């Protein structure tokens, strides 16, 4: 159970008015250390939603998320921030730098 990120029966529902959109509907995946994964699917299949949940940037509607055997989806925002800083890295397609800060200040921001 070590060095694994596990999503079990993950669901993510967006409600727009009376309509429910299942961006993820019962998705289970095990991400192992030092392993490369490619998530492929058509536009709207749920790829971005999935990686935002795996990266602790968004929350699940249903299901469980485990990191190294510990259930992590109900942790506090501060505890999730610590995991994002120390264990689950995220490289955005666009860099999301703060334009008002210097380069070094952007790098220092998380610490
Ligand atoms: N914030 C949101 N509000 C409402 N619907 C969303 C939101 N984010 C994603 N969706 C919907 O969830 C589905 C999956 O989207 P997304 O994860 O962005 O797919 P992909 O990255 O594979 O193109 C799509 O139907 C999309 O319209
Ligand atoms: Mg996407």
Residue 65 confidence (pLDDT) = 97
CATH code at 82?
3.40.50.300
Position 2 confidence tier, pLDDT thresholds 50, 70, 90: low
- 74 alpha carbon – ligand 1 mean position (Å): 22
pLDDT for 109 beyond 70: yes
Ligand with smallest separation from the Cα of 92: 2
pLDDT for 27 beyond 70: yes
- The closest residue, in CA terms, to atom 3 on ligand 1 is 14
Closest CA to 86 of 73, 67, 64: 67
Q: Determine phi and psi for 23, rounding to 5 degrees.
A: -70, -35
Q: What percent of the chain has pLDDT over 90?
A: 79
User: What domain range is 38 assigned to?
Assistant: 4-108
- 30 alpha carbon – ligand 2 mean position (Å): 20
Position 9 confidence tier, pLDDT thresholds 50, 70, 90: very high
pLDDT in tens, 30-66: 999 889 999 999 999 999 999 999 999 999 999 999 9
pLDDT in tens, 81-108: 999 989 988 788 888 899 999 999 999 9
Three-class secondary structure assignment of the chain: CCCEEEEEEEEEEEEECCEEEEEEEEEEEEEECCCCCCCCCCCCCCHHHHHHHHCCCCCCCEEEEEECCEECCCCCHHHHHHHHHHCCCCCCCCCCCCCCCCHHHHHHCCC
When divided into structural domains, the chain yields a total of 1
């Amino acid at each position: 159970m070590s060095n694994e990120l596990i999503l079990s029966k993950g669901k993510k529902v967006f409600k727009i008015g009376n309509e429910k959109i299942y961006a993820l509907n019962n998705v289970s995946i095990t991400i192992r250390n030092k392993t490369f994964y490619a998530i492929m699917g058509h536009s709207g299949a749920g790829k971005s939603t999935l990686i935002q949940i795996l990266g602790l940037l968004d929350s699940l509607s249903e299901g469980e998320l485990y990191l190294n055997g510990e259930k992590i989806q109900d942790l506090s925002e501060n505890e999730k921030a610590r995991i994002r800083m120390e264990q689950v890295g995220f490289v955005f397609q666009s860099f999301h730098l703060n334009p008002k800060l210097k380069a070094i200040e952007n790098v220092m921001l998380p610490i």
